[in-house]
């Protein structure tokens, strides 16, 4: 990711996506969702993100930490739920959730 970011910056292309998060429930293992953390929604100064105990934790370079209710985010912005190992149709392509070459779909889009 670092090399790609460097090449894009040298080309003058602004990248708005800062992080990708894949969220799972551990016992039993299940896929909750995949989301992007981007500058347009969370701002330019994001340095780290994490999800713990249902809280989306966003850390900023000036020491600020913001906490968000991940359950509320997933309920409001999840486009479609997916189960690991199940066949799915996403944007006209058929694949299996969690398997190559499709992997995990970005099904939580914060706007």
36-93 pLDDT, tens digit each: 999 999 998 999 999 999 999 999 999 999 999 999 999 999 998 999 999 988 778 8
Which residues are within 8 A (CB) of 38 and not within 5 positions of it... i.e. 6 or more apart? Answer: 16, 17, 18
Residue 102 covered by a domain: no
Length of the chain: 111
Total domains in the fold of the chain: 1
Please check whether residue 64 lies inside any domain of the structure: yes
Answer yes or no: is 49 within a domain: yes
| Residue 111 covered by a domain | no
The reply to whether the predicted model has a pTM over 0.95 is no
- Does any domain span residue 14? no
Q: Is residue 13 part of a domain?
A: no
Domain region containing 28 = 19-96
Give 50-105 as a DSSP string: EEETTEEEEEETTS-EEEEEHHHHHHHHBS----TT-EEEETTEEEETTBTTTB--
pLDDT of res. 13: 52
């Amino acid at each position: 990711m670092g090399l790609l970011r460097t090449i894009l910056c040298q080309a003058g292309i602004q990248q708005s996506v800062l992080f990708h998060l894949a969220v799972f429930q551990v016992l039993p293992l299940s896929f909750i969702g995949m989301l992007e953390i981007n500058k347009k929604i969370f701002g330019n100064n994001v340095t780290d993100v994490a999800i713990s105990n249902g809280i989306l934790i966003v850390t900023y370079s000036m020491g600020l930490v913001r906490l968000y209710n991940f359950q509320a985010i997933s309920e409001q912005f999840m486009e479609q739920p997916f189960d690991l190992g199940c066949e799915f149709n996403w944007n006209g392509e058929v694949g299996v959730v969690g398997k190559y070459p499709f992997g995990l779909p970005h099904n939580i889009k914060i706007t």
